[in-house]
Amino acid sequence: MATALRLAAIDTLPIIVASYRKEGIVWSMKAPDIPFRWSLNSKLDEDTFTYDLLNLGKECPRLSKQSADAWFENDDADEYEVWEQCIGSAGDSALVLIYLQSNMMSAGPDWNVRKRRTA
């Protein structure tokens, strides 16, 4: 976990490190250059490898492609892909590494993200 957090903190790659339980997100840390528009879902989507790990015990040993709409609440998230890797962690949780593709870094604002959070 310390290595993943350090990787996000030094901001050389567009990654998000997060911890999820079956009930949803526990915490997350974005690399500083990740645009605000990319806001993680609070609940774990059934289409994620992390869901499979926590609910079915299915390992995700390497980075694997995933539709971004499984991770983000953005209206246009289905137009993007991310790389996901997860491992089991303490307390029935999973440590997740989400690597954003470069086109996500230059996407324009999604004004609905903030509205959904306050609604």
Domains of the chain: residue spans and CATH: 2-118 (3.30.450)
- Please, is 32 exposed, middle or buried when counting C-beta atoms within 10 Å of its C-beta (0-12, 13-18, 19+)? exposed
Enter the pTM of the model. Answer: 0.82
Give residue for tokens 């009930």. Answer: 23
pLDDT value for 40: 93
pLDDT value for 71: 96
Stretches in the chain below the pLDDT threshold 50? 116-119
Q: Which two tokens stand for residue 76?
A: 């246009």
Q: Cα separation of 60 and 58, whole Å? A: 7
